[in-house]
Structures are given as structure tokens and as C-alpha cells.
Amino acid sequence: MRLLMLGGTQFVGRAVTEAALARGWEVTVFHRGSHEAPAGVESLLGDRTAEGGLDALAASDSAWDVVVDTWSGAPRAVREAARLLAGRAGRYVYVSSVSVYQWPIAAGSDEDHALVGGDPDADQVAYAEDKRGGELAVVAEFGAERSVLARAGLILGPYENIGRLPWWLNRVALGGPVLAPGPRELDLQYIDARDLAEWVLDAASAGLHGPYNVVSPLAHTTTEEFLEACVAVAGAEDVELRWTDPSVIAEHGIEPWTQLPVWAPPGEMHDSMHRTSTHKAAAAGLRARPVAETVADTWAWLRSIGGQAPQRPDRPAVGLSPEKEAKALGR
């Protein structure tokens, strides 16, 4: 198989690239050159946001079996790339997001849930609308039968450049009392970037088309299992998880998801973020590795780069300040 990866040097794109190389695929990576591409790929350089940014792709005489695109900015950039490649690639896999569904998302909702609006020719507007616009752009140029819309949920794992799991790992490594958001048994749903990558390649190989929610099964893990896994690999000797009721967290003005990454309190927010149906993707072969493996591998990667995870410039930093945590814990 011949893969064109749009991106391919960071997080999900890198996971897809490495998975394809491990399968013996021929991989071309189109990227800005800000980060080094994995060894063994053909690199084409260009900036999709700049005038003439696709010139290197246009000049190439290559053709590909599949294009994978993780773009989350202006939908028009997706449409421009898809339009250029429609006659030179067999299938276009767009890594979208469950954020394209209208809020709130009822627990157990599947791919038929109502969608936000989107414009395939728009400039950047907001994350959900941009992802939906990207989906529409792909379908407009490749047609429904040659398009795969991989609607990912929360993505974790090595190379994460958002900072959610890295923040928790670094926090427990500092030791002392750690604000652990309850309840302990609250279920969490996410997808390891490597499992997402394998499913994307399998979907392309199998000739799938249409939308799929690509995230772990419902109740794949719990908040307690997630945080205990962090403690097991990174926790300092004196680390102590202090389980804290959601009402106390709210009283102290602590924001779920951003200041306490991954976590959302029980109710509408939690149902929307952690209870999406994935039956369709599972039937198409989606597998999710245990949370302990995702956590341990992310910690090993973090240590290999000195402990400080890269941060995407277009995403805000996450995590809770020591002062706010101490106040909520009554210290």
C-alpha cells in the first residue's frame, strides 16, 4: 500500500506514519518541516496555510492508495488538498472528531446523532465547525464511497502534544496529596493514538467508507484505574490520591477537562465526552489496549524526551495550578 500522510511528524499523524512503516507500506509525508519526519519516509515540504503551499504535492508525479489527513484548522485547506488529490489517490481518510455532534450528546449516541453545521470552503471558525467542514470537504471531492470519516474521541498516548496525560504523569511524579476528581468508579472513554492509527490503516485497506466513532468501548476504564496507572509508573514515594467530590471541585472554580484533564463530572458533560457508542467501529475491527499500557508507554516516552511534553501552539495549556489544588484540598 502507498500512503500519503498529510502531517505525520506529531502525535496522531506520527502514529499513523509509524504504523504504516511497520506494515511495510510506502509512505510519503507532506509537512511543514518544523519537526523531523520518521526515518524511512519520502518527505514533501509545504505549508497548507500559505500561498502555493501545495506546490510540492502538485509537482509530484506519485499516486497513492490512501491519503490520511488530521487537519483541524480552516476547512478550505482540506478541500484544496482533496481537490488536488482526487484523481491521484484511491481513498481519503479524514481524522475528524466526535465534537462534530450537536451538544449535548446523549449517552450511547452513535453516528446518526445530529451534527453541527460546517462549510467546506470556510476559513477557521471553531473546532467543531472546522472538523465538520473538513468532513464535508473530503466527501465533496472524493465522494461518499471513497471517504472515511474517523470521528475520534479523546486521544491519548505517546507523542501527545495537547498535554492531558503528560500533565497527570508529571503531577503524580511531584508527589504529595493529589486532587483526584471523583467518583472513583466514573467511567472514562478515550483512544490510544496507536490504536486509532491501526484502525485507520485497516479501514483504508478494507475499503470502508462513511463515518465511524473511533474511541474505546463504553466503560473501557475508570477514573480510579486511570490515576492508579499513573501512580504505578510515575508516582513519587509520598504521592497520595485525595478523592474529591465533584461539588467541592465546582465550589473552588476548578474547570473540568482543562484544569483537570480527561475528567468531566457526572451528568451532561460526562455523557457527551465519555459515553459515545462505538459499535460500528468495533465491528470493523477497532481494538483498544489496556489503560495501563497507554499510561506506561506515555511515561516512557516522556522520560525519553526529558519529561516535558511538546505543546501545540494552537491549543491552550492544561492542568491545575499548585495553589488552586492546595486550596481545594484544604491545605
pLDDT digits (tens, 9 = 90+) for 65-123: 999 999 999 999 999 999 999 999 999 999 999 999 999 999 999 999 999 999 999 99
- Angle formed at CA 223 by CA 217 and CA 228, multiple of 5 degrees: 115
Mean pLDDT of 32-55: 95
- Integer Cα distance of 16 and 20 in angstroms: 6
- pLDDT, tens digit, for every residue of 190-243? 999 999 999 999 999 999 999 999 999 999 999 999 999 999 999 999 999 999
pTM, two decimal places: 0.97
Phi and psi, residue 214, nearest 5°: -110, 90
Arithmetic mean of pLDDT over the chain: 97
In this prediction, residue 67 carries a pLDDT of 98
Task: Answer yes or no: are the C-beta atoms of 43 and 77 closer than 8 Å.
Answer: no
Of residues 164, 34, 152, the one with CA closest to residue 43: 34
Q: Which domains does the chain have, with CATH numbers?
A: 2-155+192-214 (3.40.50.720), 159-187+219-275+290-328 (no CATH)
Query: CA-CA distance, 188 to 275, in Å (whole number)?
Result: 8
Which pLDDT tens digit goes with each residue over 264-293?
A: 999 999 999 999 999 999 999 999 999 999
Share of the chain above pLDDT 90, in %: 96
Burial of 74 (0-12, 13-18, 19+ CB in 10 A): buried
Classify 322 as helix, strand or coil: helix
* 312 pLDDT higher than 90: no
